[in-house]
Chain A
Amino acid sequence: AQSVSQHNHHVILSEAASLELGCNYSYGGTVNLFWYVQYPGQHLQLLLKYFSGDPLVKGIKGFEAEFIKSKFSFNLRKPSVQWSDTAEYFCAVRGGYSTLTFGKGTMLLVSP
Chain B
Amino acid sequence: KAGVTQTPRYLIKTRGQQVTLSCSPISGHRSVSWYQQTPGQGLQFLFEYFSETQRNKGNFPGRFSGRQFSNSRSEMNVSTLELGDSALYLCASSWRVGQEETQYFGPGTRLLVL
Interface residues on B, range: 20 to 34
Q: Are A104 and B42 in contact (CB under 8 A)?
A: yes
CA distance A32 to B103 in the complex (A): 11
Number of A residues whose C-beta is below 8 Å from B?
24
Per-residue CB proximity of B37-55 to A under 8 Å, as 1/0? 0000011010010000000
Tell me the nearest residue of chain B to A44, going by C-beta. Answer: B105
Q: Is B56 an interface residue (CB 8 A)?
A: yes
Within 8 A of B (CB), among A32-87: 32, 34, 36, 42-46, 49, 51-52
Q: Are B43 and A90 in contact (CB under 8 A)?
A: yes
Partner of A100, one of B33, B42, B100: B33
CA distance A49 to B48 in the complex (A): 20
Q: Are A101 and B45 in contact (CB under 8 A)?
A: yes
- Which B residues touch A90, using CB under 8 A? 42-43
Q: Is A96 an interface residue (CB 8 A)?
A: yes
Q: Are A46 and B102 in contact (CB under 8 A)?
A: yes
Partner of A96, one of B99, B104, B105, B107: B99
Q: Are A32 and B42 in contact (CB under 8 A)?
A: no
Knowing A30-B99, A32-B100, the reply to whether A99 touches B105 (Cβ < 8 A) is no
Partner of B102, one of A49, A102, A105: A49
Question: Other than the known A96-B99, A99-B56, what 16 A-B pairs have Cβ atoms closer than 8 Å?
Answer: A32-B100, A32-B102, A42-B107, A43-B90, A43-B105, A43-B107, A44-B92, A44-B105, A46-B102, A49-B102, A51-B100, A52-B100, A94-B101, A99-B45, A99-B48, A99-B58
User: Could you tell me which A residues sit within 8 Å of B by CB distance?
Assistant: 30, 32, 34, 36, 42-46, 49, 51-52, 90, 94, 96-105
